[in-house]
Amino acid sequence: MRLKGTPVSPGFATGSACTFVAQELAIPRYAVPEGERAAEAARLEAALAATTAELHAAKESLRGKVADDLLDLFDVHAVILQDPALLKTARDHIFAGGLNAEYALERAVQTVAAALLASGDTYFQERVVDLEDLHTRVQRHLHGQPSVMAVPCGEARVVLATNLSPSETGNLHHAAIAAFATEHGARTSHTAIIARSLEIPAVVGVAGLMAAAAADQRVIVDGVNGLVILDPTAEEEAEYASKAEAYREYRRRIEAEGRREARTIDGHVIRARANIDLEDELHTAMAAGAEGVGLYRSEFLYLQCSPNLPSEEEHAALYTRICEAMYPHRVTIRTLDLGGEKYFHKVLEPEGQNPVLGVRAVRFTLRHPDLFKTQLRGLLRASARKNLAIMFPLITTVDELRACLALLEECKSDLEAQGVTYDPEVPVGIMVEVPSCALTAEAFASEVSFFSIGTNDLIQYLMAIDRNNESVAGLYDPMHPAVLKCIGHVCEVARARGLRVSVCGEVASDPVMTPLLVGLGVTELSMAPAALLEVKAAVRNLSYEKCRRMARRALKAGTGPEVAEIVKSHARAGGAGRQG
Ligand code: PEP
Ligand code: MG
């Protein structure tokens, strides 16, 4: 029987199943007499403490086996558990409302989850999954049923579960695990991230998995195509044994080549850089052979300092650390891109009907020159090593760019007056993510050192779809000829002026898009650190000249599916592709 799910960690594995069906916990609801409320609150606090201890043990069990920054995930969970608002709300329900600990906790979790969802910030919204996961764990302690998942020793087993929390994933690592498959879960869940880091093939979101699966049954997990095969035939087992071997060989090769530059078979070099949101990701990026940072999203510094604003010194210290870690590679830092639906911060004014089309990014910072100049001076202070570049987001008109450059000049004079050293030649570039900017790229070219195409927003604005609205996600097509024409035009202008041109939107992480982007004339790709090895490997399989010809054909196509067909036939004729 074949079941489909979301592939979250690549690779192939076969083994016998170890099944874990989550027990539904009924949350009891009863009144607690006044005199017993303090003891009830103590019972809740003990369950919270036991869960924290469990997280700590899981973290220690993974130490040395995964990158240190992944261990921080457990600290994120500990911070959520220790959230004073969570405990205070639950205690209020116990003391003022006379609720029992289980029900008080459930109500408090609902309140905190609602606040996270209403924050408008994707990072906080995604933490709701973690909160719910932690909620179940604390409830298990309150019910006197702490989670125990034991995998028998001996032959490597395939773990099939309703869901796995990160700590359970961590605990399971003691045992010989060949693969994971779960009925719930998403690509961005921490469990998926840990599975990738442990290099264990994993598929999540497999509907009907636990009803169909049985303990000790033979199972194949295909973490490349998102398949779970229960009771495979002998032919299927043989087919997957050879796929697994080919995949291991492929990984060995791309890891060995990871540090080398990405050069096509006809000698054309594409710079592969990392997109970084948090400083911690630098280690993963460097381990995967990043040749610098192509996009540092500085808004996270503002979110970390919220409700205050980062000082010039805080800006300078963070950017200096990144530039030192990456030296001599270039680090491109994007100035604040707050606003729209993107991130929420108290400095933002309430928005009108269409925040995505409103005061966002430089539209916001240009209206707050003091805030903007604090960041620009921080950037200049960090530029003395000469490997820092500054990038302005969401540029729409040349006047806007000039206003940004004028403020930068004022900041240079401020620093000179103070005798502070900085790089007077600091490269300045723009994000090309508004169609007006892409189509008039030549008007910007003489004032910048580089272009960086932000396809996430460019596609949003070109196709008139909110990038966060699932109901129009079907129109989000990076292969649409309108998108290719914009990218192609910016590349042509850059080439004529001898400028670097990067793509830093999510499409840069997709090896299927690599031949098209290279063929259109992109000189750099900046992507999620996890994508670096594979995209660099994809470049090494390409012929630049063939990509150029393929891109010329694609530019003449009328629809996205026609372009997809052109890309597929290029791959079939010997282009790059992932194994499997
Ligand atoms: C983009 O728009 O493609 C981009 C990289 O910026 P962000 O995703 O931060 O808007
Ligand atoms: Mg953008």
CA 6 to chain centre: 16
pLDDT at 208 over 70: yes
Q: What share of the chain is helix, strand, coil (3-state, %, to 5)?
A: 50, 15, 35
Rounded to an integer, what distance in angstroms lies between the CA atom of residue 26 and that of residue 337? 44
Give the mean pLDDT of 545-574: 95
Kindly give the distance from the C-alpha atom of residue 257 to the centroid of ligand 1, in angstroms, as a whole number: 29
Rounded to an integer, what distance in angstroms lies between the CA atom of residue 175 and that of residue 400? 58
Q: Which CATH class is domain 2-23+148-233?
A: alpha beta
**∠ CA 72-24-159, rounded to 5°:** 55
Of 300, 341, 431, the residue with max ligand 1 atoms within 8 A of its CB, to mutate for a pocket test, comes to: 431
Q: Which atom of ligand 1 is nearest the CA belonging to 297?
A: 9
- Nearest ligand to the C-alpha of residue 334? 1
Q: Are 273 and 526 in contact (CB under 8 A)?
A: yes
Kindly give the distance from the C-alpha atom of residue 431 to the centroid of ligand 1, in angstroms, as a whole number: 9
Q: Which amino acid residue places its CA nearest to atom 7 of ligand 1?
A: 456
Q: Largest Cα–Cα distance of the chain, in whole Å? A: 81
Dihedrals φ, ψ of 272, to 5°?
-110, 115
User: The dihedral of CA 457, 463, 468, 473: what is its sign?
Assistant: negative
- Quickly list H helices, 419-543: 435-439, 441-445, 455-462, 481-497, 514-520, 532-540
- Nearest ligand to the C-alpha of residue 509? 1
Q: What is the pLDDT of residues 256-301, one digit of tens each?
A: 777 789 999 999 999 999 998 878 778 878 888 899 999 999 987 8
Pseudo-torsion of CA 81, 121, 322, 272, nearest 10°? 120
Dihedrals φ, ψ of 25, to 5°?
-95, 120
Residue 578: band (very low, low, confident or very high) from pLDDT cuts 50, 70, 90: very low
Place of tokens 């309430």: 350
Active site residues: 190, 504
Q: What is the pLDDT of residues 40-59, one digit of tens each?
A: 999 999 999 988 888 887 77
Choose between 251 and 412: higher pLDDT.
412
Relative to beta strand 218-222, strand 12-20 is antiparallel
Residues with CB under 6 A from ligand 1: 295, 297, 337, 433, 454-457, 504-505
Q: What is the pLDDT of residues 76-126, one digit of tens each?
A: 778 888 888 899 999 999 999 999 999 999 999 998 888 887 776 666 777
Q: How far is CA 93 from CA 100, 103, 336, 499, in A?
A: 8, 9, 40, 61
Give the mean pLDDT of 236-260: 86
Q: Report pLDDT for 579.
A: 39
Q: Report pLDDT for 58.
A: 74
Dihedrals φ, ψ of 193, to 5°?
-65, -40
Paired with 552 in beta bridges are none
Note the pTM of the prediction, 2 decimals: 0.64
Of 456, 510, 522, the residue with max ligand 1 atoms within 8 A of its CB, to mutate for a pocket test, comes to: 456
Q: Are 229 and 223 in contact (CB under 8 A)?
A: no
pLDDT at 152 over 80: no
Q: Are 368 and 311 in contact (CB under 8 A)?
A: no
Q: Report pLDDT for 577.
A: 42
Rounded to an integer, what distance in angstroms lies between the CA atom of residue 115 and that of residue 136? 19
CATH of the structural domain 263-572, one choice from 3.30.565.10, 3.10.20.30, 3.20.20.60, 3.40.1390.30: 3.20.20.60
CB neighbour class for 492 (10 Å; exposed up to 12, middle 13-18, buried from 19): middle
Dihedrals φ, ψ of 297, to 5°?
-85, 100
**203 in helix, strand or coil?**
strand
Choose between 52 and 315: higher pLDDT.
315
Q: What is the pLDDT of residues 485-506, one digit of tens each?
A: 999 999 999 999 999 999 999 8
Rounded to an integer, what distance in angstroms lies between the CA atom of residue 563 and that of residue 516? 9
Q: Which amino acid residue places its CA nearest to atom 6 of ligand 1?
A: 454
Pseudo-torsion of CA 431, 433, 439, 443, nearest 10°? -30
Domain regions of the chain by residue span = 2-23+148-233, 34-142, 263-572
- How many alpha carbons lie under 13 Å from residue 40 in its C-beta half-sphere? 25
Q: Which amino acid residue places its CA nearest to atom 8 of ligand 1?
A: 456
Q: Which CATH class is domain 34-142?
A: mainly alpha
Long-range contacts, 230-235 (Cβ 8 Å, 24+): 230/1, 230/2, 230/3, 230/17, 231/1, 232/14
> What does the buried/exposed string (b/e) look like for 473-485 if buried means 16 or more CB atoms within 10 Å of the residue's CB?
eeebbbbbbebbb
Query: Distance between terminal CA atoms of the chain?
Result: 20
> What does the buried/exposed string (b/e) look like for 189-218 if buried means 16 or more CB atoms within 10 Å of the residue's CB?
bbbbbbbbbbebbbbbbbeebbeebeeebb
- Nearest ligand to the C-alpha of residue 453? 1
Taking each helix axis as running N to C, give the angle between helix 398-418 and helix 369-381, from 0 to 180 degrees, rounded to the nearest 10: 60
Q: Report pLDDT for 580.
A: 40
Q: Are 13 and 201 in contact (CB under 8 A)?
A: yes
Of 295, 303, 504, 517, the residue with max ligand 1 atoms within 8 A of its CB, to mutate for a pocket test, comes to: 504
